[in-house]
Amino acid sequence: MKRRLSVSLAILMSALMAAAAPKAGDSAPDFTSTDSSGKTHKLSDFKGKFVVLEWTNSNCPFTKKHYASGNMQNLQKQWTSKGVVWLTVLSSAPGKEGYKTADEENAYVRDKGAAPTAVLMDPSGNLGHLYGAKTTPHMFIIDPTGKLVYNGAIDDRPTTDRDDINGAKNYVAAALSEAMSGKPVSTANTEAYGCSVKYR
């Protein structure tokens, strides 16, 4: 009985998350979160800049595909050099796959040569639930006015094969290129692929 009740609650929570999740065109929900260096960040502090949110889990094979190949790091470096704020978000709960302490996450970032503006530690899952983040990776782009202009997958190749990165359409790069040129984002919502976010 207890097991059936918890399964039902999990299904209900997923449905509520899906219904409440912001879509491209919506105002991006404001948040306050602490990064892996102990610094507090508010989304509203970045008004006037483009912001990328990248959900991560270093144990997920889909995340590994983009970090082992250097693809994610290249994107981070390319766009932060153009003034984009890149926030990697770790929502794995303690005891779940991909959970890391702040020190462990900082060591991972150094080891991989990653270059986000900051890594937001979200073990409670509050930030992940606020955005309806479903997978690792799951990507969101917020424009300088605070509007969400992209929500979805990193690219159009939902596999764990590194070789598939070549020739893939990178939705994040395309959306940033269009939005930063003052054009509407042609593909603004896609289905994110990857491992499920390991919420508590």
User: What's the rounded Cα separation, in Å, for the pair 156 and 57?
Assistant: 20
Please report, as a single letter, which amino acid is at residue 156. Answer: D
Q: How many CA atoms lie within 13 A of 151 on its CB side?
A: 18
Mean pLDDT, range 98-122, rounded to an integer: 98
Of residues 29 and 8, the one with the higher pLDDT is: 29
pLDDT at 101 exceeding the cut of 60: yes
Give Cβ neighbours of residue 52 (< 8 Å, ≥ 6 apart). Answer: 79, 84, 85, 86, 87, 139, 140, 141, 142, 172, 176
By C-alpha distance, which of 190, 160, 165 is closest to 59?
160
CATH fold group of domain 23-196: Glutaredoxin (3.40.30)
Return the pLDDT at 2.
54
pLDDT tens-digit map of 124-148: 999 999 999 999 999 999 999 999 9
pLDDT at residue 5 greater than cutoff 80: no
- For the chain, the domains span 23-196
pTM of the entire predicted model: 0.91
User: Which of 118, 125, 89 has its CA nearest to residue 10?
Assistant: 125
Find the mean pLDDT for residues 155-163.
98
Which tens digits make up the pLDDT trace of 10-44? 454 444 444 468 999 999 999 999 999 999 999 99
How far apart CA 138 and CA 179 sit, in angstroms, is 19
